[in-house]
Amino acid sequence: MIDASGVLRQGLLQLSRSNQLRSIIEKAPVSRSVVQRFVAGATTADAVRATQALCDSGRLVTIDYLGEDTLDLDQAKATRDAYLTLLAALGSSGLAEDGRAEVSVKLSAVGQFLPGDGHKIALDHAREICQAAVNAGTTVTLDAEDHTTTDATMETLLELRQDFPSTGAVLQAYLHRTEGDCRDLAHEGSRVRLCKGAYKEPESVAYQKSSDVDLSYVRCLKVLMEGKGYPMVASHDPRLVQIAGALAAKARRQADSFEFQMLYGIRPDEQKRIAERGDQMRVYLPYGEQWYGYLMRRMAERPANTFFFLRAVATKG
């Protein structure tokens, strides 16, 4: 039987890498409200404004300055500087207090793929961002990217944790290796975000069927909940959210020992409900001009998002 959602997902992930389609979409007269459903805006002020609104509603926030796969040193430095500016603004506004707002960083956006010293450049930039986070009273989570970067990202994570032990990791349940990575990282003080995964990966390294990814997610989540670390449950799937709550209860976890995470613009009413019942609910909030790749992966993750976007293009464009 053909997995229709899987076929749609793979197609969209391929399109997320298409420069030609990117140019068409970015130039199309699509209503700004379409992008604003998923992206806070282009500037630091936009990100701070959206963060304030989310925090006022009882939710927590992790902020992503959009961009990835840079091969330009100046762009990598600009991304680093954007995070430094953002963290200073979060600190001065009080939004970073007690980790209410933190930041998520893709290493490829701060230089990981630069020829020669890319690893060192990305590590140095990440260190500066981590120090700025400490100065503001919050922390950093290293975003996961495609499987070819996993080993390098884990290496950087371990190096950063020597000086910044609260640096968070992101693991993707669709990778065969992830249950083992969960066991390695489920230790005291370790913050781990578990998501399904949002990149096109080969069968040799990743589960291809949605049902297999879900089963892997539950196995990985069980490891994290039974461990001594701090699990961050990144899912919009009602079944997985319910299972996460049950596993937390079985492990006798207090509400402040784990958190749920969802994307900005996805299931906002459910986000509020989770926060209002006393659980920790963190919203992944992207901002910046480089929204195309991010938006296409959000379409791939959830077919309803695709239909929303295409309907908006058809009626507004």
Which residue out of 80, 161, 193, 282 is catalytically annotated? 193
DSSP reduced 3-state for 191: strand
- The yes-or-no answer on residue 184 being catalytic is no
Q: Would residue 193 show up in a list of annotated catalytic residues for this protein?
A: yes
The Cα–Cα gap between 80 and 54 comes to 24
Q: Please say whether the beta carbons of 199 and 13 come within 8 A.
A: yes
What DSSP assignment string belongs to 31-99? Answer: -HHHHHTT---SSHHHHHHHHHHHHHTT-EEEEEE-------HHHHHHHHHHHHHHHHHHHHHTTTGGG
Length of the chain measured in residues: 317
Six token digits for residue 45: 């002020």
First to last CA, the chain: 36
3-state secondary structure of 225: helix
How many Å apart are CA 108 and CA 71, to the nearest integer?
9
CA distance 189 to 12: 36
Q: With CA atoms as reference, report the closest residue to 240 among 185, 184, 280, 194.
A: 194
For residue 63, which phi and psi values (nearest 5 degrees)? -110, 135
Q: How many CB atoms lie within 10 A of CB 279?
A: 18
Residue whose C-alpha is closest to residue 275's, from 288, 259, 298: 259
Catalytic position from the list 143, 146, 181, 279 = 143
- State the catalytic residues: 143, 193
